[in-house]
Amino acid sequence: MEGTQSSGKGSLWSKLILFNEIILVAILVTISAAISLGAPQFYSTTNMLNILRDSSMAIIAGVGMTMLIITGEVDLSIGSLVAFVGVVTMDVTNKTNSVALGVLAGLGLGAVTGLVNGFVRTKLRVNSLIGTIAMLMILRGGVYLYSLAAVQNYHQLKAFFDIGNGYVGFMPIPVLVMITLAVVFLVVVNRTVMGRYLYATGGNYAAARISGIKVDGLKILTFVICSVFAAISGVILVSRMNSGQPNAGTGFELTVVAGVILGGTSLGGGEGTLMGTLVGVLILRIINNGIIILGWNQDLQIVISGIVIIVAIYVDNKRKIARARIIST
């Protein structure tokens, strides 16, 4: 009788995965400690709150991106989308004097982008990496066509300002939104039928399809979720910057994707956790914040993000190879 891979190996693996998240938290703590050595103001409550609030945008987008990457796809257009959403939201709010309409327009743009990305992937069969890079170009060109200059705040509505800068009690509104969406993610992904379908589609598209799951529809839905979440962070951003800037968000997609992958979500699909994304994105945001506080050149952010993505994929690859070795025996 062929031996089942004994539980010995099984628990070794679960140890390794748990290990992964402990490692991440350890990295987080180490980097924070290092930075505060160079710049003691790092550990102040104000700075911590700032970090949390600044990270909320990346984390919100990261939550949506995690869902998408679990299904085995990726979306690199969110940076340009954030800019476009900001411009459109500010412009519509200006023209209609209604924050609700402005936000709706911005989210609507996100939804449409997601639909197109999903369509390009499932019906035209274009690899999502390339397809969303093309979308990145289309949106970036598009936002400049919509408005060459930054769209200033002419409406001066308080509700608009509050989105990014207001508080509910002691909690900044962006952080509240972030927590809400994170909870939604946790419930949907871990406890619902849809969550199960997400993991199955990413883990084995063919098997999921044969099991009767509507895989293409699911992917399109997930693209839309990712874009809408990115649009939400775009609305928060434009509120904080107080103007819709067409050049915003450059490199944003990189921080988000790098953070998600760093957090253990595999680009191959079929795995990903909220905790991982959270810590991964936070690590990158803290690095960015540290660079600013230490007075280093801000362009280091892009360089570091690029290197992090390479390292994260390399580590991800090694884990995949180790896993494949177990499957084949």
Q: Which of residues 225-284 bind another protein (CB under 8 A)?
A: 251, 254, 267, 270-271
Q: How far is the CB of 293 from another protein (least distance, A)?
A: 18
For another protein, the binding residue among 30, 127, 152, 156 (CB under 8 A) is: 127
List the alpha helices (DSSP H) in 272-299.
274-293
Contact region with another protein (CB under 8 A), list: 34-42, 51-59, 127-135, 169-177: 127-135
> Is residue 208 involved in binding another protein (CB under 8 A)?
yes
Name which of 37 and 124 has its Cβ closer to another protein.
Answer: 124
- Under a CB-based contact definition with an 8 Å cutoff, are residues 65 and 82 in contact? no
> Is residue 147 involved in binding another protein (CB under 8 A)?
no
Please state the length of the chain.
329
- Under a CB-based contact definition with an 8 Å cutoff, are residues 66 and 271 in contact? no
Footprint of another protein on residues 298-327 (CB under 8 A)? 299-307, 309-310, 313-314, 317, 321, 323, 326-327
> Is residue 21 involved in binding another protein (CB under 8 A)?
no
> Is residue 36 involved in binding another protein (CB under 8 A)?
no
Footprint of another protein on residues 100-119 (CB under 8 A)? none
C-alpha gyration radius of the chain: 20
Sign of CA dihedral 306, 311, 316, 320: positive
Name which of 157 and 300 has its Cβ closer to another protein.
Answer: 300
Distance (Å, rounded) from C-alpha 124 to C-alpha 105?
27
> Is residue 169 involved in binding another protein (CB under 8 A)?
no
For another protein, the binding residue among 149, 183, 207, 292 (CB under 8 A) is: 207
Distance (Å, rounded) from C-alpha 122 to C-alpha 182?
27
Distance (Å, rounded) from C-alpha 42 to C-alpha 299?
20
Distance (Å, rounded) from C-alpha 71 to C-alpha 216?
10
